[in-house]
Structure 1
């Protein structure tokens, strides 16, 4: 039986190319059916052409199809890879420009904070439709989600659609440990590590080489290098005792200590609005790919090390491997709320994807994660209960927003963003509440 993988949001062409380069590198998956779906016809055509180029370079013969109709693309799928970004660059710019007018700084704005809240709210209506389509036309499929805000989206999918085969995937743990291994001068392949927490704010709980704890070496390096100490993650390591995943730009947004203070922004070299540059780069990369295809020029075929192709390979062939996944907390981390979405190691093999029980996090780490999950829960409740007040409650709870703005201005900001995003939000959440 041919394995079918549906890419939803395949018009994210550069990311699609990387995933396909990884997928087509497995000889056991030669002949796989990849169905590409996007609502933008030009991006869909570009994605299909790029897929054919990558298959040719890899020397494989997959079945490649492109679909404007989502249900058609999903029909009979074994795996669904979601990478949709609702509103694209236009909505992202709104998420930055409106808060900036209120004096609220953001660096990335895709996971927590006011940007993460509204990115989730405009994504939820799509996720509900996607979940219902999957339940109708491919109910046994694994939904592998890459769309941010990761933890909010996975929680919403499980609560609003009833899907159970949902795993959120992010490369933050892998690349964090990869970078730390290079920093201490140990080959990544020789490092033993364990991480757990929430997406983009998980914690490296173990970091060892040949049975030796590498954390003292990290502290030593930071003590000797003042430039390292000018990074948020090393500042958090010094104060909390553990190193967080994802970049310093991300990490600064999930706590109340940094972005409110100009002195901290300068000390820690925080690039305000950094994600807007990434959006522009992504748009430029897409145009470059489109022009290369039209001109018959070669495309780069580079693997990404992303988890989705690894999971497909493990579930299809039975080859066991451990990946990090974002899943609903059912006793996995005992001092974080049940029902929230946590990031833990997961075993993937022929039987499926099974998350690892971690136990309890150190209390100072759990305290920060609980605040993160409280924001998530309020955003999800806003949508599932159709309660616009919970949008404001989430913003009031968010550490960076609450540290910067008085409560009346938080309400004004939420009203402005509700109006700015308009019909991207579900109807019951579009009202202006005032203060």
Structure 2
């Protein structure tokens, strides 16, 4: 069993290594850590060896500088979690549209920032997917890189890889947020939800198998301050959304004033950066032997999503509560849209399950399904017309001229990471409103 972590310096990788080390099914895997940056590669390799020793696992670790080196080894499972200059670029994705009056909550996966993010990450991930395709087109490929459903759409539609899945921890974060409200351990909470990544509707919410919606209703009466956007949507559509206000708010025109200042914009970006730094600090302490095994176990509440799926494929059958796959009548959205639904996972493969949602709750998702397709195709094709369509279709864009000018400025700022576009394309977008 050959598992490659590509972008191994990501904070997803240590959890994946821990899941491998503590799994009877996975603990003897061949593990390849692909990381282009030298210090990060050295750190994650040392951490992998430490996890292996601490949990008495048998996996073998091979560090690699470039994904092309996998050709010497082969790969059965590839986990892609790559990004370049994440926080510097993310700040631009938020700040530039904001100067034009466009109130996007995060600017990471939705709004103009999400479109900009798509246009520069898709070429990067496709270059990696192309190498995996050449090595083993049957390899199961898991994508953590955001905007995850758009990147997944591109890989599925522009390579011959068939076993491609988008993954996200959002459903686990929703459990963590609801646990104090419901006075339950997050590991006792289960949910069945469907929709699009970062915007799903919880069809079933349970604590130890019992319906928890009545308990949620009572808890929310006492906490009107708890996620006002989610509560508004719940009162309107009868289903509680996931993962949380600021992620859902990326896709709604009315979200901005409902989201507290500390959960949006530059404050959220900085908070996310600091949280990542804190995780790495704890990992460095663990590497030095200053965080004992029992404390590390408590720190890890859930298995890595990718390795959880691999465990199912390798023989430990399970329900994966959220996985992103091309829609084949799993939800009443256009076919081929990357949707997030539960799935049964076994050695027979991944079997996504249908989730019935109210017609009205699907309406905002249909708009985002079209933006998903347009932005992913524009990113691969260097298609200016599709960029313009995605901009003018976005609910967050309140003014056509402002939206197109902001998009042009975003593309100019990131043009060094968008080889599929030229300065002429930028000018065409900027001047489109005057035709």
Same fold (TM over 0.5): yes
- RMSD (CA atoms): 2.6
Corresponding residue number in structure 2 for 1:146: 144
Corresponding residue number in structure 2 for 1:218: 216
Matched, 1:397 2:393: yes
Gaps of 5+ in 2: none
Shift of 1:211: 7.6
**208 and 312 in structure 1: CA distance in 2 versus 1, 3 angstrom threshold:** closer
Corresponding residue number in structure 2 for 1:69: 66
Runs of 4+ in 1 over 6 A off after TM superposition: 293-296
Spell out the pairing of 1:64-213 with structure 2 (5 A cutoff): 64-73=61-70, 75-186=73-184, 193-208=191-206, 213=211
Secondary structure (helix, strand or coil) at the match of 1:337 reads coil
**Whole-Å separation in 2 of the counterparts to 1:288 and 1:53:** 15
Matched, 1:426 2:419: yes
Spell out the pairing of 1:15-414 with structure 2 (5 A cutoff): 15-73=12-70, 75-186=73-184, 193-208=191-206, 213-228=211-226, 231-259=228-256, 261=257, 264-265=258-259, 270-281=263-274, 284-285=277-278, 288=281, 292=285, 301=296, 302-303=299-300, 304-333=302-331, 335-358=332-355, 360-400=356-396, 402-403=397-398, 406-414=399-407
**190 and 37 in structure 1: CA distance in 2 versus 1, 3 angstrom threshold:** closer
Query: For the Cα contact (< 8 Å) 1:8–1:84, is it kept in 2?
Result: yes
Task: Tell me the matched-pair count.
Answer: 422
**290 and 191 in structure 1: CA distance in 2 versus 1, 3 angstrom threshold:** closer
> Which shows bigger deviation, 164-173 or 72-81?
72-81
Shift of 1:48: 0.6
**274 and 233 in structure 1: CA distance in 2 versus 1, 3 angstrom threshold:** farther
Q: Could you give the per-residue CA deviations for residues 162-199 of structure 1, whole angstroms, max 9, x where no partner exists?
A: 32100111122233245435423455566563211111
Shift of 1:291: 6.1
Shift of 1:341: 0.5
TM-score (norm 1): 0.89
Q: Could you give the per-residue CA deviations for residues 319-354 of structure 1, whole angstroms, max 9, x where no partner exists?
A: 333342000001211x21111100011111111211
Shift of 1:237: 1.0
TM-score (norm 2): 0.89
